[in-house]
Amino acid sequence: MNKTQVLVVEDDSPIRNLITTTLKTNNYRYLTAVNGESAISQTASHNPDIILLDLGLPDIDGVEVIKKIRTWTNTPIIVISARTEDADKIEALDAGADDYLTKPFSVDELLARLRVTVRRLSLMQTDMTQNKSVFENGDLKIDYAAGCAYLNGEELHLTPIEYKLLILLSRNVGRVLTYTYITKNIWGSSWENDLASLRVFMATLRKKIEKDVNSPQYIQTHIGIGYRMLRV
């Protein structure tokens, strides 16, 4: 039995049943909640490993649920919602969601998102146990203590901003980071010119770490939303 426990927050019975059947078939343990208050209560009581959260709940908007849960835990939250506008995705991700899946979704895509999140959880737990000061992902290596990054054993010559971007992405592997989240962490603000600067620095960083910038291996773009570092 998969030790990973998933809290499914969904008020639509057919969709909730589809998700729980998928989880059961793939040996995940699960809990269910049909509204926001129950989701908050179950998270506090059972401390699930992952939360699958619908935004359109009958009592509290899902974004508010994310904000409340984020006051005490960093449990990964994957939003599953019929809201398809970039603004809705950005609002949820900025509130603290880790990923966003749009309805209708395929079972295979849901399982893929779960696998990515489980890997991220495993890496986080390993890092906490070993107190790692070195990050490795494929041919990319970052020595946090030394402040250096390497690709195929060769030191990368990064600008301070490029290095800060790489650190931020590496500490959030598998998580979609919005433009606002990144610019606030890098520059302390989120103005229009910060976004333009981010795109420039991301382009130069990619040239230094990607074999093919047109088919990136490490940094994935979510158009209109932000960036995510992929686990290679």
What would the pLDDT profile of 91-147 be if each residue is shown by its tens digit? Answer: 999 898 989 999 989 999 999 999 988 887 877 666 554 456 888 999 999 998 888
pLDDT digits (tens, 9 = 90+) for 15-72: 999 999 999 999 999 999 999 999 999 999 898 999 999 999 999 999 999 999 998 8
CB 28 within 8 A of CB 116: no
DSSP label at residue 52: E
pLDDT digits (tens, 9 = 90+) for 70-103: 988 889 999 999 888 888 999 999 898 989 999 9
Q: Is the model's pLDDT at 204 over the cut of 70? A: yes
Whole-model pTM: value is 0.74
Domains parsed from the chain with CATH numbers: 5-129 (3.40.50.2300), 134-229 (1.10.10.10)
Q: What is the DSSP string of 78-128?
A: EEEES---HHHHHHHHHHT-SEEEESS--HHHHHHHHHHHHHHHHHHHHHH
Distances (CA, A) of 136 to 140, 149, 160: 6, 10, 20
Q: Which residues contact 200 (CB under 8 A, 6 or more apart)?
A: none
Q: Report the alpha-carbon distance of residue 31 to residue 9 in Å, rounded.
A: 9
